[in-house]
Amino acid sequence: MKHERKLDGKIQQPLIQPVQIAAQLPLNVSKLITDRKLDEQTPVQAKVQMPRSSLNFVREFVPALRQLDGTAAIDVAVGGTIAKPAVSGSVDMNINVARFENSTLPALTNFRGLLNFRENVLRFDRFGGDLAGGPFTVAGSIRLPKLTEPTFDLRLQANSVLVARNDNLTARVDADLKVV
């Protein structure tokens, strides 16, 4: 017994541009119950789009944020099957400043992120900023040979990034980490 699951909608919130979401996933319910797993040949179709919008609305959902000044735009599509997904699109974000209510946590400034999906690979084309004056970047990619089996090849580099601060201690670190 095949059933088609469809989602077609719009998320509207006064502080952002409308987010368009569309998804389609046919399900063979009897096969799913019998096999106890999703058929990897199941076609997947999904799309999420949000024109450039302010990120300030996130503060309503994350009370720990005292200040957030930035924008983001999303245009991502997924097609193909679970076993062979076809992911394309991009996420572009800029955060001028993000500060927490807890003053011991470092402020994030001058963050610029551009993530591109091409040929089932999420590429960190630009991803970095400053944590309390210490610059950091993340570069590399996440491959999606299957939607359920991502492979990572990422590198985080940081110079004199503030990781802890209180009345008695200020700790900064340099980092060069690779996740494969």
Q: What is the pTM of this model?
A: 0.77
Say whether pLDDT at 3 is over 70. no
Q: Could you tell me the strand order of the sheet in which 108-118 lies?
A: 2-11, 19-28, 45-54, 65-80, 85-100, 108-118, 121-131, 134-143, 151-165, 170-179
Dihedral sign computed on CA atoms, order 166, 157, 144, 18 = positive
pLDDT tens digit sequence for 22-48: 888 777 667 767 777 777 787 888 899
Residue 176 buriedness (CB in 10 A; 0-12 / 13-18 / 19+): exposed
Say which residue, 83 or 96, is predicted with more confidence: 96
pLDDT of residue 2: 57
Q: Are 92 and 113 in contact (CB under 8 A)?
A: yes
Checking if the pLDDT of 5 tops 70, the result is: no
Q: How far apart are CA 21 and CA 55, in angstroms?
A: 18
Average pLDDT, the chain: 87
Per-residue model confidence as pLDDT tens digits over 101-150:
988 788 999 999 999 998 889 999 999 999 988 999 999 999 988 777 88
Residue with tokens 């950091």: 136
- The per-residue pLDDT for 153 is 97
**pLDDT over 80 at 82, yes or no:** no
Please tell me which residue, 112 or 21, carries the higher pLDDT value: 112
Instruction: Give the pLDDT of residue 4.
Output: 67
